[in-house]
Structure 1
Amino acid sequence: MPLSKKILRLLCLGTVLFLLGRAPDKAYASSADSSSAEALAHYTMGLVHDLYESTEEAVAEYEKALESDPAHYLIHFKLASNYARLGMYPEAIAELKTTVRLNTEDLQAHYLLALIYSTQKQYDLASAEYELILKSLSRTEPENVEVFGYLGQLYYSQKKYDKAIEQFEKVMQLEPKNAEVMFLLGSLYLETQQKPVAVDLFLKSIEIDPEHDGSLNSLGYIYAEDEARLDEALDLVKRAVTLDPDNGAYLDSLGWVYYKKGMYTEALESLQKADTLLKDAIICDHLGDVYYKLNEVDKAKQYWKLSLDLRPEQTAVVEKLKQLNKNTTADSSKTR
């Protein structure tokens, strides 16, 4: 049962007296004048309302606290937190910006800003806040591999591959036998067109952890793309699928290895299953290729079009469709 406002205010007053007499807040330690005492009273009352999830009442108290002490960063932060709970995001953002202006070291404010920006689908702004937080932590905790890992993943998601590589290389220095980091680094080197380095990292990852499905799949797919060591590629990808049988990407790799080996029926079966699990442009493209080899031209055309719907910039798929249309037109002319 919630306390009455009268009891809350008595409790608040007692807390204020205790804080002023025993453990004054840093922001108020320099003076004990009436304005700072009044601000602290309203601030503490806001904290009490927070405890009882009385958000609107807490907002009212924090706003009164700011009237007496507008330079207290913590009041701005608490007010912002409650604005956010009420869905008042523009007001929350404004208060958080004031918070970080008054206290540049306040990472909590940056974190809440990141959450709000994410809620508002302002992902670039959210990423900038996360980057600031992680960079700060990487300086204060230079041996915390999780921080470097999170920062690396952030850069990866932003397609800032060189920066991501830099972070994961730092993790490798601290944990030289981390199979997962080797896999992530290998994936990044693939993105930057450094295939030999990627292959070496995938091999090392598998050597450390023979059941690392990501490395098994990636290495097998590379071998298939290069049309080299196809038997080994098949073994690698089969091992990955065994470890994660409902992974659409792994089933796509398996289908692609079968395709490269000329085993089109097996390729079709694997790719169809992949398509039910994951709607992906590459899977659709591969299905189109398989159907074309099986002389099912209409289905090939259908899946190549689906692939372009998912990723329109694929020039290779565009060319396949153009060639298919040319062949179809030529065949029609011959039959007339």
Structure 2
Amino acid sequence: MFNCWQSIQKERKIFTPWREIALSGLVLFSVGCVSQNGLFKEGHLNGGSQIQVQQSDAHTETTENMLEQHASKIEDQQNTNVVPLKAGDMYQLLVAEMMALKGFEAQAYDIVFKIAYKLRTPELAERAFKLSMKTYNAQKIEAATMLWREVAPEATTPWRASLLIALRQNNVEQALADWQHYRTLSKEPLERDLLIVAQKIGVSAPPKAGLSFLQQLVKAYPETWASYFALGLAADGFNQFDVALKALEKAKIYQTEDSEPQINQFLAKLYLQNPPAKRGIKALKPYLEKNPQDWLVQERLARLEVHDFRYDDAIKRYQLILEAMPDAYTSRLSLALVQLEKEDYKAAEKNLLKVASKKGFSDVVNYYLGLIYQELADTKKALTFFDKVKLGHYYVDARLHQAEIYFSEGEQSRAFTILSETKAEKPDELVKLHRAKAIFYSAAGQQEDAVKEYSKVLELEPNNIRALMNQAMLFYELKQFELYVANLKRVIKINPNEADALNALGYFYVDDLKKLSEAEVLLNKAYQLEPSRYYILDSVGWLYFKKGNYAKAKEYLQKALAIQMDDEVLVHLIQAHWKLGEKKQARMLWQNNNKKFLQNSELQGLINLLESKSKE
């Protein structure tokens, strides 16, 4: 009888580094080399060390059933099941499989590939290929692919892998040649092969080479919907949504009855990623008229309607979906959020409560119920629901709303305690937390503390324009004008078209009277970017006032006041009228509007001041 243990003892010296791994697997063997799964029966000698392989479970992808396939391939004309595999090779393969089970795929591959290269059987070559894929090592994958192609020239998978390797090497021409050979071997329909290859390309090939390859396939199969779909699928994977959308719209021209739903479902996804939403709404409605029960497209169309601010249409569509599928909880949640946007708080509350008990929805539901009750001024209920949000995406926001409620009720210390105790780890959560502290400190008159919190925001996000702008305003209040100017210049450097920063810096230079030419450049650009913002019109008008062009100043200031009744604009316009000798208009403007701004002491004493100056 063949002695397994003696054989193992003879061979184990080859694998000294893996001795413990090998020995740990000896429980697989009992007397006579019988494994736990019964895969190996008692062996016998037949002209050398040979092991008889018995049929294994079809679902077991181990070396054992691979060896059985190897035996069946090379059996002699007498149809024996004897595999001429040396015990040493068998031992090495078993060790390799144990390595793979323990996560050492690269080492397992090295062993299996060496034996596969020596024996040159398709089954071992395939196993080496599968292990190579788990190593994520391009050289190992390529070597295993080439070996499998060589020993199993009729196998399709290695040829598909070959074209992907060629694309990774940016060799589109070779990839196309490999595709052609692959298609001569494949028994799959062309459409299926196109979609499979596209999926692989989307996750493994460089975008430029991958898209170039698929564009060539479009030329090769210009009337096949799947060639365009494949191009769109890969382009979507590369985040080139415009390319994907154009390809899918072309696929729609050649769609079949079977492919129409697939194409429109993908199109609906792409329209969500490619504004404007109204384009997608227009394109998808004819399909839904024919296929009203395609609930996936119905749901995506509802989202497009939300993006296009067609809230009433979206509400009707979500209700239609829920009539057909009452358990579509995501759609019910979406409906509630649209109702919340419409300030239909009772309807939103009703739908949220229907979802509240469902697994995975508790945090989002409790958060939005808290928002509803906060809007309804039921702060006790709001705090209760916010407090139920213990973890996840909405945790920090829920704590911020709790702090906001306490702050607004005069409990400032409690609000700051909540903020201090809130645990935030992700950078975006930390930004929210520091920004909230800055806002509360500013509202409490603690400008210096607010400045520090904005500095913490800027440490995390140096280009956060809102934080820079808000901190700049605090610098202005603290009369730290150099820092104020520095922040505004920093914003303009980040975004030269940031109209608010251009306006703020320009207006500061106008008031300073030292840099009117620079102020003019800044304010003209701000006005070109945002000609309907009243405060920019006010700044331009005040620039002309300071330059002595009172008529032009009046023109811009009147436009500003027509957009927004603002006390500062009012002060400027009254002065422009006065300078133009239009004192009656100035007094009338003051009389009609001064009581709206009793807190503005400059406005209240403006007419007296102007009259006293006229007498000088």
Shorter chain as normaliser: what TM range?
A: 0.5 to 0.7
Equivalent in the alignment of 1:195: 481
Among residues 576, 589, 593, which one is paired with 1:303 in the alignment? 589
- Percent sequence identity over aligned pairs: 24
Do structure 1's residue 265 and structure 2's residue 554 form an aligned pair?
no
- Aligned equivalents of 1:175, 1:108: Cα separation in 2: 19
Task: Indicate how the Cα distance of structure 1 residues 107 and 292 shifts in structure 2: closer, same or farther if over 3 A, else same.
Answer: same
Equivalent residues of 2:399, 2:419 under 8 A apart: no
Question: 1:218 offset after TM fit, Å?
Answer: 0.5
Q: C-alpha offsets along residues 236-276 of structure 1, whole Å, 9 cap, x if unaligned?
A: 01111211111111111111111101111111111111111
Residue 529 of structure 2 corresponds to 243
Choose the corresponding residue for 1:212, options 498, 506, 511.
498
Q: Which moved more, 1:284-293 or 1:148-157?
A: 148-157
* Aligned mates of 1:244, 1:214 — CA distance in 2: 9
1:287 paired to 2:573: yes
- Matches of 2:578 and 2:377, distance apart in 1: 55
Equivalent of 2:381 in 82, 92, 101: 92
1:186 and 2:472 are equivalent in the alignment = yes
Q: What is the number of equivalent residue pairs in this alignment?
A: 259
- Could you tell me how far apart the structure 2 residues matched to 1:150 and 1:112 are? 10
- Give the Cα separation in 1 of the matches to 2:471 and 2:609: 38
Q: Report the alpha carbon displacement of residue 89 of structure 1 after superposing the two structures with TM.
A: 3.3
Structure 1 range deviating more: 278-287 or 307-316:
307-316
Instruction: For 1:152 and 1:131, locate their aligned partners in 2 and report how far apart those are by CA, in whole Å.
Output: 11
* 1:173-196 per-position Cα deviation (integer Å, ceiling 9, x unaligned): 222343443222212101211112
Q: What is the CA–CA distance in structure 1 between the aligned matches of 2:446 and 2:592, rounded to whole Å?
A: 29
Q: 1:131 to 1:327 in 2, by over 3 A?
A: same
| Residue identity in the other structure for 2:562 | T
Identify if the C-alpha distance between structure 1 residues 238 and 327 changes in structure 2 by more than 3 Å, giving closer, same or farther.
closer
Distance across 2 between alignment mates of 1:151 and 1:184: 13
Shift in Å, 1:299: 1.9
Give the secondary structure class of the aligned counterpart of 1:193.
Answer: coil
Structure-1 separation of matches of 2:526 and 2:417: 37
Greater than 6 Å deviation, 4+ residue runs: 93-97, 106-109, 126-130
Give yes or no for the alignment of 1:149 onto 2:435.
yes
- The answer (yes or no) to whether the contact 1:288–1:300 under 8 Å persists in 2 is yes
Greater relative contact order: 1 or 2 (C-alpha under 8 angstroms, separation 6 or more)? 1
Change (3 A) 1:306 1:215: farther
CA displacement at 1:147 relative to structure 2: 2.8
- Decide which of 527, 538, 547 is 1:252's aligned counterpart: 538
Q: CA RMSD in A?
A: 4.6
Specify the code of the residue in structure 1 equivalent to 2:460. Answer: L
* Structure 2 spans left out of the alignment, 5+ residues: 1-321, 324-347, 355-365
Asked if 1 retains the 8 angstrom alpha-carbon contact of 2:383 and 2:402, the reply is: no
Give 1:91 shift: 6.4
Deviates more, 1:317-326 or 1:238-247: 317-326
CA separation of 1:138/1:202 partners in 2, compared to 1, >3 Å: closer, same or farther? farther
Structure with higher Rg: it is 2
In 2, the alpha carbon distance for the partners of 1:234 and 1:175 equals: 31
Residue 276 of structure 1, aligned match among 551, 556, 562: 562
Report the secondary structure of 1:245's partner residue: coil
In 2, distance between residues paired with 1:146 and 1:94? 19
Query: What is the Cα deviation at residue 161 of structure 1?
Result: 2.3
Which has the larger displacement, 171-180 or 239-248? 171-180
Aligned partners of 1:162, 1:292: CA distance in 2, in Å?
40
CA pair 127-305 structure 1, distance change in 2 beyond 3 A: farther
Structure 1 equivalent of residue 449 of structure 2: 163
Q: TM-score, normalised by structure 2?
A: 0.35
Separation in structure 2 between the aligned mates of residue 90 and residue 149 of structure 1, nearest angstrom: 23
Deviations 1:187-216 (A, max 9, x none): 210121111210121122212221111111
How far apart, CA to CA, are the structure 2 residues paired with 1:88 and 1:279? 29
TM-score, normalised on structure 1? 0.61
Measure the CA separation in 1 of the matches of 2:398 and 2:505: 42
Residues 209 and 93 of structure 1, relative CA distance in 2, 3 Å threshold: closer
- CA deviation after TM superposition for structure 1 residue 145, in Å: 2.1
Mark the CA change 1:138 to 1:234 in structure 2 (over 3 Å): closer, same or farther: farther
